[in-house]
Amino acid sequence: TWPSLQVVFVVVSRRDDGSLGASIVDPHGDHLADAKGKLRALAQFAEDHGDRFVRIVSVAKGSDGTLRALDLLEPAVRQPVRDFSGAEVTALYDSEVALPYQ
């Protein structure tokens, strides 16, 4: 079983083989006091259950106002999320591990 996870969007799309696949798209940001904890929990969820999803991304506005995404299916993105010690997670969305959201 999965632990409780309340994401904002679960998107269902058709894969190349015709099967349906789910993606998690979770808007994020520093406006919530538990932003860092929730982002770490989503990264852990992606580690534990990512093979069942097409995408697991966390999306937030970067400091430049553009939408940036952390692709939590990528180990090279999950590790900086785990290691992040700053107070505001916007720094992660401004970093090299984030990509423009598409």
Are the CB atoms for 80 and 52 separated by under 8 Å? Answer: no
**Which of the four pLDDT bands, split at 50, 70 and 90, describes residue 102?**
confident
**5/77: higher pLDDT:** 77
Phi, psi of 70 (to 5 degrees): -105, 115
Q: What average pLDDT does this structure show over 93-97?
A: 95
Q: What average pLDDT does this structure show over 87-96?
A: 93
pLDDT in tens, 40-88: 999 999 999 999 999 999 999 999 999 999 999 999 999 999 999 988 8
Q: Which candidate, 77, 72, 70, places its Cα nearest to that of 101?
A: 70
Q: How much is the pTM? A: 0.86
Query: What is the edge-to-edge ordering of all strands in the sheet holding 9-14?
Result: 9-14, 20-27, 53-61, 67-71, 99-100
